[in-house]
Amino acid sequence: MGSMATGGSGTATVPRRQRYMDRKSLVPLLLFLPPTLVLFTLFVVLPMVDAATFSFFDWNGYGPITDFVGLKNYDDVITHRNFGTAVRNSLIVVAVSLLVQLPLAMWCAIALAERSVNINILRTLFFLPFMLAEVAAGLIWKFVYDGNYGLLPVVGDAIGVKMPFVLGDKLWVIPAIMLVITWKYFGFHMMIYIAGLQSIPSEVIEAARLDGVRRWQIVRHIKIPMIRSAIVISVFFAITGALQLFDLIIPLSNGGPSHSSHTIVTFLYQFGILRMKLGFGGAVSVLLFVACVIVALAYRRILFKVEQN
């Protein structure tokens, strides 16, 4: 992403433009661009414009949209008694993703980057949770946590501890969900890192070893800097994914108990969609969209600065 903006020098753009104009690239361009553009407009841009429009109206989902209320919905969202909790939870998810999930993924990636049969099996095992559908994963963990018939009380009995009903406990529900999120997504980031690590030429590592560089130093000063672009991507996915977290929460806790485990998106669904206050929901989605755009722009800016240094 960064290279497109920064790499094009004056002399390089002319031949590049010529390349786009020639017939061989024009055909695929005309063939592949319109469907994507149409789909993107229909299913991304238009709904976004719709939601933004709803946010200025009071609308229950039925009939024409006529009741203009200005910024009232935004005011309602910001002063809603559960909105603060939802924002806090989404930020916790971001923090846990960055501080726990990514380091764990990196650690596993470094340990599992070599090619061998055993390592392949481990890698697949760690990647499996990511391939599971979110709802299925949520249901599996709901069972694990179930205080009556689940796995957790069995484990608790074995070690002689009375386990709480974690998903019904305001204190435990967030850590319990964080565990599932980490379990579910660290394998994905691990794969990104492994792909990066495998592209590092083995001569570089070998040369370092011959020079007597220690293992940790190799990781710190050679491997991690060389997969910088993979990390950039994975951090970006982690943040935007965390802000949009929805489908794991619904089967696990449904935002409960007492609306203490909502993320911004489950908050939107509960109070905007299910309560049929679509204007309110639209306002939440606009706020979330703005937050995501700010994150994306700030992120690019920070990266740009780092690159310049």
Cα–Cα distance for residue pair 72/55, rounded to 1 Å: 9
Partner residues linked to 67 by β-bridges = 58
- Binding segment for another protein (CB under 8 A), chosen from 42-50, 162-170, 177-185, 222-230, is 162-170
Among 50, 52, 53, 58, binds another protein (CB under 8 A): 58
Pull the structure tokens for residue 277: 């206050």
Residue 257 interacts with another protein (CB under 8 A): yes or no: yes
Nearer to another protein, 184 or 259 (CB): 259
* Cβ-based burial of 265 (10 A; exposed 0-12, middle 13-18, buried ≥19): buried
CB 184 within 8 A of CB 134: yes
Give the number of residues in contact with another protein, rule: CB under 8 A: 26
Residue 276 interacts with another protein (CB under 8 A): yes or no: yes
Residue 168 interacts with another protein (CB under 8 A): yes or no: yes
Residue 275 interacts with another protein (CB under 8 A): yes or no: yes
Residue 146 interacts with another protein (CB under 8 A): yes or no: yes
Residue 256 interacts with another protein (CB under 8 A): yes or no: yes
Residue 258 interacts with another protein (CB under 8 A): yes or no: yes
Alpha helices of 211-263 — where are they, by DSSP H? 215-217, 224-226, 228-243, 249-252
Measured in degrees and rounded to the nearest 5, phi and psi for residue 58 equal -95, 115
Residue 88's H or E segment, with its range, is: helix 83-96
CB 196 within 8 A of CB 226: yes
Nearer to another protein, 163 or 224 (CB): 163
Residue 259 interacts with another protein (CB under 8 A): yes or no: yes
Closest CA to 126 of 139, 111, 142, 143: 111
- Find the length of the chain: 309
Among 182, 240, 244, 254, binds another protein (CB under 8 A): 254
Residue 46 interacts with another protein (CB under 8 A): yes or no: no
Nearer to another protein, 176 or 230 (CB): 176
Nearer to another protein, 234 or 263 (CB): 263
Residues 170-209 as x/- pattern, contact with another protein by CB under 8 A: ----------------------------------------
Closest CA to 197 of 177, 172, 222: 222
Neighbours of 164 (CB within 10 A): 17
Residue 63 interacts with another protein (CB under 8 A): yes or no: yes
Within 13 Å, how many C-alpha atoms sit on residue 103's CB side? Answer: 6
Among 165, 236, 246, 299, binds another protein (CB under 8 A): 165
Binding site for another protein (CB under 8 A): 58, 60-63, 67, 145-148, 165, 167-169, 253-254, 256-259, 271, 273-277
